[in-house]
Amino acid sequence: MRLVLLGPPGSGKGTQAARLKVELGVPHISTGDMLRAAVAAGTPTGLKAKAVMDAGKLVSDDILLAMLEERLSQDDVRGGFILDGYPRNLAQADALDHLLAKIGQPLDAVVKLDVPNEVIIGRCEIRFAAEHRKDDDPVVVRDRLKVYAEQTAPVADFFSRRGKLQVVDGVGELNEVTARVKRALADESAAANG
């Protein structure tokens, strides 16, 4: 299974990816984790990324794509993968489409976790109070949700036009949401094989 998880920050993508990784037996590829690992390992792409981050800038789409291509060439992804945090904009979605075609691993499905902003802000406020993570500060979360609406939300339309998008209600008990995601993947698989 080759899967992309979409959704606003705080929607539960990372949590669902961790659960699905075990269920599907494929690696969870988080671009944030991948970026930190490449920098720590001192890979050529990691060194480029570190220079950009040290200058206080965002890592470019080209650098992220190069890192993703390196990661997707590794043996453990031959049976599939779960992408979390990428693509974040239409240019990345198009680049991913071309990369996956080039390596002969087209996406099987894209699942978007649908969670209202008020719920996300509430979740992040609880996490911020408990863990004091800067990215969970309600002011930061509101800004991140605005960026998501402007840049990442259109990515769902991109995949919808390709017949890959499944929208799943991301509100509720954790096991319920996981069950919904698994049903969406089963529906997508049945449609593809039907």
Known binding-site residues equal: 10-15, 31, 36, 57-59, 85-88, 92, 127, 133, 144, 172
- Residue 61, both tokens: 């789409």
Where is the binding site for ATP, in residues?
10-15, 127, 172
- Residue 88, both tokens: 């974040």
Numbers of helices and strands, H then E, in the chain: 9, 5
Query: Under a CB-based contact definition with an 8 Å cutoff, are residues 81 and 26 in contact?
Result: yes
- Residue 186, both tokens: 């089963």
Residue 103 dihedral angles phi and psi, to the nearest 5°: -95, 5
Where is the binding site for AMP, in residues?
31, 36, 57-59, 85-88, 92, 133, 144
